[in-house]
């Protein structure tokens, strides 16, 4: 990267450390937040271009022969712009950041499908791995690095997610994406599914294959995006074949012969069809989805009204005086700005650093 951009990042990092929070910056028309900390492997700076963009890791180096840049694309960006559109956006971002890129390699790929399967609940015992796979229960923080990891998540005594494997190798996940989208306020997913979550209370199960550096580079010899595109189907189908979800049979003690569950067969079929048909093809950007900015704006609007109502009651307003509530709130903000010169500007600046690039 250019010395000019590195100087901007250095100044932003120092300011972020001093304020103990991200600060907003703009370079080449690209708006982003710079975090007060970097990342492992020598990345000094962490840039976030918003929920509709990416997280960039940058090293303090102008040597173009080094791997100085790392980009992690957000899910909403892929959902809205698709794979081909995201690749073009990454090239645009590199130009905006004044980066000289001699080579680029994929570091990780995730591929998933969402299944509406009423009545289904994953059972950890129904996952079958090859006999040479070392399987053990995983407890966060135990420091173990041996064998495959099996992590089971429960909510109200119900299994809502199972993750098998570990990074930077291969992981296979089955989890309730409906619950996940509500928890993380990713409310664009119901629009994608065409579901009203107020009416549809059953889980939407996501089957997700994740392949990171050790899996795609060492096992599949993937060192370019072209190689990734040509081998992704093999990567995905291999993962789904090595770890299967089955229907137990009490007539056969050999679990490897148990029949594959219809949900697993459906996931394999949908992923195969998607990769073969259109996974890498250019497609128009989706503009029908509620953006993270609109979702957050609606969330704050509802909180603002609820807080204002509580404030009004504590200030002595009755239901008959509800029309006076907007004036009471406005007067409170005006009095705050008058009594604390510059405080409102500081709060807006802090909010802009946090939400200004939400996307």
Q: List the chain domain ranges.
A: 3-96, 109-277, 292-355
Contacts (Cβ under 8 Å, ≥6 apart) of 38 = 13, 44, 45, 46, 57
pLDDT at 38: 93
- Chain-centre distance of CA 156, in angstroms? 24
pLDDT at 149: 58
Give 10-residue mean pLDDT values along the chain (359 residues): 92 94 91 93 94 93 85 93 92 92 91 92 83 43 44 67 86 91 90 90 93 91 92 94 89 83 95 88 84 91 95 95 95 94 90 79
**pTM given for the model:** 0.82
116-129 burial code (b ≥16 CB/10 A, e <16): eeeebebeeebbbb
Q: How is residue 114 written in tokens?
A: 């969402």
pLDDT at 138: 35
Helix intervals (H) in 245-291? 262-277
pLDDT at 148: 53
């Amino acid at each position: 990267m250019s010395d000019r951009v590195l100087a901007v990042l250095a100044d932003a990092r120092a300011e972020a450390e001093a304020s103990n929070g991200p600060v907003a910056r703009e370079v080449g028309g690209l708006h982003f937040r710079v975090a007060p900390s970097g990342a492992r492997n020598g990345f000094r700076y962490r840039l976030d271009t918003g929920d509709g963009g990416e997280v960039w890791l940058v090293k303090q180096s102008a040597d173009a022969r080094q791997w100085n840049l790392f980009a992690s694309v957000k899910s909403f960006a892929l959902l809205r712009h698709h794979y081909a559109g995201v690749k073009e956006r990454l090239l645009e971002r590199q130009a905006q950041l004044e980066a000289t890129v001699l080579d680029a390699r994929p570091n990780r790929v995730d591929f998933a499908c969402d299944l509406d399967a009423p009545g289904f609940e994953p059972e950890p015992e129904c996952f079958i791995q090859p006999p040479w796979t070392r399987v053990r229960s995983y407890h966060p923080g135990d420091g173990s690095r041996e064998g495959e990891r099996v992590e089971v998540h429960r909510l109200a005594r119900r299994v809502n997610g199972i993750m098998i494997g570990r990074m930077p190798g291969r992981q296979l996940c089955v989890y309730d994406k409906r619950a996940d989208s509500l928890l993380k306020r990713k409310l664009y997913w119901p629009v994608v599914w065409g579901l009203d979550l107020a009416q549809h209370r059953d889980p939407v199960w996501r089957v997700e294959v994740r392949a990171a550096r050790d899996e795609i580079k060492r096992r599949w010899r993937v060192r370019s995006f072209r190689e990734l595109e040509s081998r992704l189907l093999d990567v995905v189908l291999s993962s789904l074949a090595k770890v299967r979800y089955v229907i137990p049979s009490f007539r056969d003690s050999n679990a490897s012969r148990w029949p594959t569950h219809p949900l697993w067969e459906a996931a394999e079929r949908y992923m195969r069809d998607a990769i073969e048909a259109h996974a890498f093809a250019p497609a128009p950007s989706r503009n029908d989805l509620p953006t993270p900015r609109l979702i957050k704006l609606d969330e704050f609007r509802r909180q603002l009204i609820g807080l204002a109502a509580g404030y009004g009651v504590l200030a002595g307003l009755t239901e008959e005086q509800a029309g006076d509530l907007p004036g009471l709130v406005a007067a409170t903000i005006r009095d705050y700005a008058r009594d604390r010169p510059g405080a409102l500007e500081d709060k807006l600046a802090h909010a802009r650093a946090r939400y200004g690039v939400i996307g």
